[in-house]
Structure 1
Amino acid sequence: MPRSIERKYRAVTAFQRRLNAVMRRLPNHTLLETTGRTSGLPRRTPVGGRRVGDSFWLVSEFGERSQYVRNIVADPKVRVRIHGRWHTGTAHLMPDDDPVARLRTLPRFNSAAVRAIGAQLLTVRVDLDT
């Protein structure tokens, strides 16, 4: 990985670690809950995305380097809290999807942040259980 991307990744993750601690506590913020690949414990990550029918779409700013994406690879069963309500589902990495085009369909503020700080964008689709 090029040094500039590595520096960006380290800076962003240090900032997000602090921000996410606050965002997880907000009652209506969207959360993605994965199972920790090593610990087996639930891991909650604030995400920006949108529900479309029985799917929830989001874009990871650091692709397969993101911890929640690594957790998805180990166990794709997840939960998503949308508008304060939890939904179970199965997450799928979508490497063939155009993440920049996908961001245009997702909430504007989060999409702008992902484009600004992201280095290796990856689309994730969660098929929600009905």
Structure 2
Amino acid sequence: MSRYHEIKHRVATTFQRHVGNPILGRLPNQPLLETTGRKSGVPRQTPIGGRRVGREFWIVSEFGEKSQYVRNIHADPRVRLRLKGRWHTGTAHVLPDDDPRARLKALPRFNSAAVQAIGTDLLTIRIDLDD
């Protein structure tokens, strides 16, 4: 990763961790992804943007394998997802062969624009919902 991308990643994740995520996580209609911490075993909630299509929910991680929730998914793909105030269980799949830029075109416009603007290593994730 270039020095520019390292700085961009550090600035964006610091902002998300201390400002964006605490605010977004409190909004009742904000989708939340809950993974299990790979080291701590503690539930970790991350505000996300994406779209439900039938029994699947699609997201694009802006920092790919460097995203903490992607690392947690690799350790334990069982997740919970809050959609419109209701929690769902499911299994997350990291899809490195999917085209994340094409996928963003099918996801909510505002979130997709933000992911493209700050993202340094886009990666598609599909969550297969149990219910």
TM range (shorter): over 0.9
Q: What SS is found at the alignment partner of 1:38?
A: coil
Distance 2:106 2:86 in 1: 22
Q: Which amino acid aligns with 1:20?
A: N
Residue type at the aligned position of 1:59: V
Are 2:107 and 1:106 aligned? yes
Q: CA deviation at 1:28?
A: 1.1
Please state how far the C-alpha of 1:60 moved relative to its aligned partner. Answer: 0.0
Q: Which moved more, 1:109-118 or 1:22-31?
A: 22-31
Deviation >3 Å, runs of 4+: none
Q: RMSD between aligned alpha carbons?
A: 0.6
Number of residues paired by the alignment?
130
Gaps (5+ residues) in structure 1? none
Alignment of 1:1-130 (within 5 A): 1-17=1-17, 18-130=19-131
Report the Cα offset of residue 26 of structure 1.
Answer: 1.0
The TM-score normalised by the length of structure 2 is: 0.98
Identity of aligned residues (%): 69
2: CA distance, partners of 1:22 / 1:39: 24
| 1:26-70 deviation digits (Å, cap 9, x = unpaired) | 111100000001110110000000000110000000000000000
Q: Is there any run of 5+ residues in structure 2 with no aligned partner, and where?
A: none
Alpha-carbon separation, structure 2, partners of 1:85 and 1:111: 23
Which SS does the other structure have where 2:65 is aligned? helix
